[in-house]
Every structure is written in structure tokens, then in C-alpha cells.
């Protein structure tokens, strides 16, 4: 007969746990080998559990690729200024007023800018028709200018052909004169 004592140290959340096993067995070589195998398996299981718990409690780290933010430069398309005769206001006698507008369109990428350049006559025509429907009394107000920007954005953001779909991100006025 002999006494076998087995101790294992398990760290968990800053605490250290000791596991001990004491076994009284007869000293037969076959039983000692089986006992050693069982003790090795218990040790491996205990260490695996401790490692699993330790790794689960570690803070997750991000890779550098996830932290990198791609900065995209804005793409602008400057249009030649428009000069348009405005209709007389319904409520007041503003007759023969002219609107002179310079604008820049902001789009998402170079492909959309290229599409707008390919269809530039259509783009200019759409804007001219839209501008010619505006009233002086409305355009003199700040809200009228904002509404005009939204109308231009909505008019130009469309499918020009099978390949070219354009979304205008922003319409920026560079000149805005009513005479």
C-alpha cells in the first residue's frame, strides 16, 4: 500500500484554488499505471477549464484593421452659372426679375461625377426648368433657398441609363443673385 497525493493550482479571477487528491492503493504496477493515467487526465481537464475561464475574462482586443477608418475625399462638380428669368409672383408685382445662380454638386465618387458630365446637357436642362418655376418672393427667404437645394438634389438624383445611377449628396450655391 502507498499513499498518492496530487495537488493542482487553479487561478481564477485573481483567486488561486488548490485541488488535492489523496489515494490509498495497493502497489500493483497495472493499477499504478491506470491511476497515473487518470491523474494526468484530471490535471489536463482542470488546466483546460482554468485556461478557458482565464481567456474568457480577458478583455477583447481589436485588430488594427478594424480601427482604421477610411477617409474619403469629397467629389465636387462645378456647374457653369445659370441665368434665368423668374415668373412674376402671384401676390406681388415683381416683374422681369432675373436669377443668377452658381452651384456645385457634391457626389459620392468619381463614377457619379463622370455620369453627370456625360449627361451634362440633361442636367443643365433639368436645373433650368426647375429654376424657371421659382418665385422671387420664395427665393428671397432662406427657407426658399433650402427648398430649392432639396428640389435640385431630388431632381438630379436618378437613374440616367442602365449603367448610371446618380445620387447627389449636396447642392451648394456659390452665387445667388436676384435682379
Q: What is the mean pLDDT of residues 19-44?
A: 71
Residues 21 and 107 both lie in one domain: no
pLDDT band at 30 (very low <50, low <70, confident <90, very high): low
Residues 148 and 112 both lie in one domain: yes
Q: What is the mean pLDDT of residues 145-168?
A: 92
Residue in the block written with cell 408685382: 93
**Other CB atoms within 10 Å distance of the CB of residue 116:** 20
Residue 68 domain flag: no
CATH of the domain at 126: 3.30.479.30
Q: How far apart are CA 103 and CA 123, in angstroms?
A: 12
**Other CB atoms within 10 Å distance of the CB of residue 148:** 21
pTM, to two decimals: 0.60
Residue in the block written with cell 500493483: 28
End-to-end CA distance of the chain: 114
Which range has the worst mean pLDDT, 29-33, 82-86, 151-155, 156-160? Answer: 29-33
Give residue 20's domain range. Answer: 2-57
Q: How many domains does the chain have?
A: 2
Q: How far apart are CA 169 and CA 159, in angstroms?
A: 15
Residue 69 domain flag: no
Residues 90 and 168 both lie in one domain: yes
Residue 19 domain flag: yes
Residues 89 and 170 both lie in one domain: yes
Q: What is the mean pLDDT of residues 33-45?
A: 83
Q: Are 42 and 21 in contact (CB under 8 A)?
A: yes
Residue-wise pLDDT tens digits, 98-139 = 999 999 999 999 999 999 999 999 999 999 999 999 999 899
Residue-wise pLDDT tens digits, 135-154 = 998 999 999 999 999 999 99
Q: How far apart are CA 14 and CA 50, in angstroms?
A: 12
pLDDT band at 38 (very low <50, low <70, confident <90, very high): confident
DSSP, res 27: -
Residue 133 domain flag: yes
**Other CB atoms within 10 Å distance of the CB of residue 33:** 10
Q: How far apart are CA 46 and CA 150, in angstroms?
A: 66
Residue-wise pLDDT tens digits, 51-103 = 888 888 877 665 555 556 778 889 999 999 999 999 876 666 657 899 999 99
Which range has the worst mean pLDDT, 21-25, 44-48, 96-100, 140-144? Answer: 21-25
Residues 50 and 85 both lie in one domain: no
> What is the model's pLDDT at position 131?
96
Q: How far apart are CA 12 and CA 10, in angstroms?
A: 6
Amino acid at each position: 500500500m502507498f499513499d498518492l497525493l496530487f495537488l493542482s493550482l487553479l487561478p481564477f479571477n485573481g483567486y488561486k484554488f488548490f485541488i488535492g487528491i489523496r489515494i490509498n492503493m495497493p502497489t500493483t504496477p497495472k493499477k499504478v499505471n491506470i491511476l497515473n493515467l487518470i491523474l494526468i487526465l484530471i490535471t489536463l481537464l482542470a488546466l483546460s477549464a482554468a485556461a478557458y475561464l482565464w481567456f474568457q475574462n480577458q478583455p477583447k482586443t481589436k485588430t488594427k484593421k478594424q480601427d482604421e477608418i477610411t477617409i474619403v475625399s469629397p467629389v465636387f462638380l462645378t456647374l457653369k452659372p445659370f441665368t434665368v428669368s423668374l415668373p412674376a409672383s402671384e401676390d406681388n408685382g415683381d416683374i422681369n426679375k432675373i436669377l443668377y445662380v452658381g452651384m456645385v454638386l457634391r457626389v459620392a465618387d468619381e463614377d457619379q461625377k463622370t455620369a453627370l458630365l456625360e449627361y451634362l446637357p440633361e442636367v443643365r436642362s433639368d436645373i433650368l426648368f426647375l429654376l424657371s418655376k421659382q418665385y422671387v418672393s420664395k427665393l428671397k427667404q432662406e427657407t426658399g433657398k433650402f427648398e430649392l437645394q432639396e428640389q435640385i438634389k431630388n431632381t438630379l438624383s436618378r437613374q440616367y441609363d442602365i449603367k448610371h445611377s446618380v445620387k447627389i449628396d449636396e447642392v451648394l450655391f456659390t452665387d445667388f443673385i436676384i435682379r
